[in-house]
């Protein structure tokens, strides 16, 4: 009995040992033991498994550079075709470096509707094509900024062949066939200025352009069409609403969306400086003044009729055309009253009606001047006479227009 009892105890101990070893092995192999580095102690008792999150990889986002608006802007226009060709754009940058020029206006979107650089927004990418696409637009802007050059981006607002093709329901139509797109004498289709969906499209273009470095966004063709078969035209979105009111609402919308984020400017017909009617295109100076940082009347003498001021050929009197026009623009900017009907601003009940308006800094006026050979060759003296007229009207900023980007160096003062 005694011998058998010792053997039973020994067997029991061996069995317990094997069982303990089995439990330990199972725990280690199938459950695992957390490393000490994963334990966090709170006080003397509770133990928690710590969770550590790996840092997100750094995203290389290129930051846009910007240049402040010069106190006196003196600039030239550069097409996107020239901007896309280094040898051509370098010639213009050299001209700016060596003369009094300090600014350049570069096409973002022209009448064809194509955007000249690759935007981030998927909504804009379909329009980022065309013969004059600038693949290195941000590099170009950075180089211009490194030279101290202020960069303005030009957006043709309601001339947009691409958008008309993509969204024909937004287009100006024929009155005689309301499903047919109307075209002007050049065959260019137009977006109806009353199509508010297009307003948001323009806002998006402006925001993307500023994001890559454009210092100012300049809106051109912010109007209704002016030439073509105007007897056979209809506006499905603006309808019969007064054109100048449609444009005022657009100006106010753009101002509300963009003015706190960037500098914006507007190109207007030159005769908006002297006419108080809307020229049948919806543009009235007093309705644009509150809604842009700068107004750029296109006072090209070649665009004025021979009857203007009784001068005869306006190309023979470029100083007089620009001086009179800018004198009137300045006077209307600083005035505190106007005969132009402004909503909720009528003073009294007298006839003709007078309306109150804010007085604006005359330096808000920044004219486009002519430096091209239409319809006669423009000499250095003729270009300089226009600049002198702007100065004599109390202004100090101007822009030179030449669609071919060939500017008269002799008309410009050398860089000091």
Distances (CA, A) of 24 to 31, 113, 182: 10, 75, 87
In a domain, 28, yes or no: no
pLDDT tens track for 110-149: 999 999 999 999 999 999 988 899 999 999 999 999 999 9
Q: Half-sphere exposure of residue 41, counting CA atoms within 13 Å on the CB side? A: 5
Q: Number of structural domains, the chain? A: 1
Provide the residue range defining the domain that includes 364: 74-411
Does pLDDT of 15 surpass 80?
no
> Quick one: which of 141, 233, 137 has its CA closest to 190?
233
Higher pLDDT pick, 203 / 49: 203
What is the pairing mode between strands 368-370 and 398-401?
A: parallel
User: What are the C-alpha distances in Å from 64 to residues 115, 127, 155?
Assistant: 18, 22, 19
7 lies in some domain: no
- Domain assignment present for 391: yes
Q: Give the pLDDT band (50/70/90) at residue 48.
A: very low
| Domain membership flag for residue 49 | no
Any idea what the CATH number is for the domain that residue 311 is in?
Answer: 3.20.20.80
Give the mean pLDDT of the chain: 89
Q: Per the domain annotation, does 60 fall within a domain?
A: no
- Whether 403 shows a pLDDT value over 90: the answer reads yes
Report the relative pairing of strands 263-269 and 294-298 from DSSP bridges: parallel
Residue 144 lies in a domain: yes
pLDDT one-digit tens code per residue, 174-225:
999 999 999 999 999 999 999 999 999 999 999 999 999 999 999 999 999 9
Query: Does 22 map to a domain?
Result: no
Mean pLDDT on 387-394: 98
Kindly state whether residue 30 falls inside one of the protein's structural domains.
Answer: no
DSSP helix/strand/coil, 27? helix
Q: What is the pLDDT of residue 295?
A: 98
């Amino acid at each position: 009995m005694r011998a058998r009892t010792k053997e039973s105890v020994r067997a029991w101990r061996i069995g317990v040992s094997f069982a303990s070893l089995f439990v330990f092995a199972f725990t280690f192999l199938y459950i695992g033991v957390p490393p000490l580095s994963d334990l966090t102690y709170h006080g003397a008792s509770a133990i928690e498994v710590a969770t550590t999150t790996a840092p997100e990889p750094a995203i290389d986002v290129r930051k846009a550079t910007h240049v402040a608006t010069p106190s006196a802007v003196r600039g030239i226009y550069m097409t996107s075709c020239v901007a896309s060709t280094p040898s051509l754009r370098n010639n213009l940058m050299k001209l700016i470096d060596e003369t009094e020029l300090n600014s350049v206006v570069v096409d973002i979107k022209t009448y064809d509707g194509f955007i000249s650089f690759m935007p981030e927004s998927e909504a804009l990418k379909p329009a980022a094509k065309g013969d004059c696409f600038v693949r290195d637009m941000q590099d170009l802007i950075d180089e211009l900024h490194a030279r101290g050059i202020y960069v303005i981006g030009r957006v043709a607002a309601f001339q947009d062949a691409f958008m008309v093709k993509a969204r024909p329901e937004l287009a100006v139509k024929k009155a005689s066939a309301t499903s047919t797109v109307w075209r002007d004498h050049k065959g260019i289709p137009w977006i109806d200025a009353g199509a508010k969906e297009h307003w948001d499209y323009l806002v998006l273009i402006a925001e993307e352009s500023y994001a890559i470095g454009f210092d100012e966004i300049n809106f051109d063709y912010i109007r209704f069409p002016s030439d073509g078969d105007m007897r056979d035209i209809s506006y499905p979105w603006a309808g019969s609403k007064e054109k100048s009111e449609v444009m005022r609402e657009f100006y106010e919308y753009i101002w509300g969306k963009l003015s706190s984020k960037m500098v914006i400017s507007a190109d207007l017909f030159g005769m908006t400086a002297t006419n108080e009617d809307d020229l049948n295109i919806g543009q009235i100076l007093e309705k644009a003044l509150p809604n842009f940082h700068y107004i750029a009347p296109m006072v090209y003498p070649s665009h004025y009729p021979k009857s203007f001021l009784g001068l005869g050929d306006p190309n023979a009197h470029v100083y007089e055309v620009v001086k009179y026009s800018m004198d009137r623009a300045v006077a209307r900017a600083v005035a505190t009253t106007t005969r132009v009907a402004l909503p909720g601003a009528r003073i009294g009940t007298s006839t003709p009606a007078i309306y109150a308006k804010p007085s604006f800094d005359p330096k808000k006026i920044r004219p486009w001047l002519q430096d091209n050979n239409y319809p006669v060759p423009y000499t250095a003296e003729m270009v300089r006479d226009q600049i002198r007229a702007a100065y004599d009207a109390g202004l100090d900023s101007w822009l030179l227009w030449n669609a071919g980007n060939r500017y008269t160096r002799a008309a410009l003062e050398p860089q000091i």
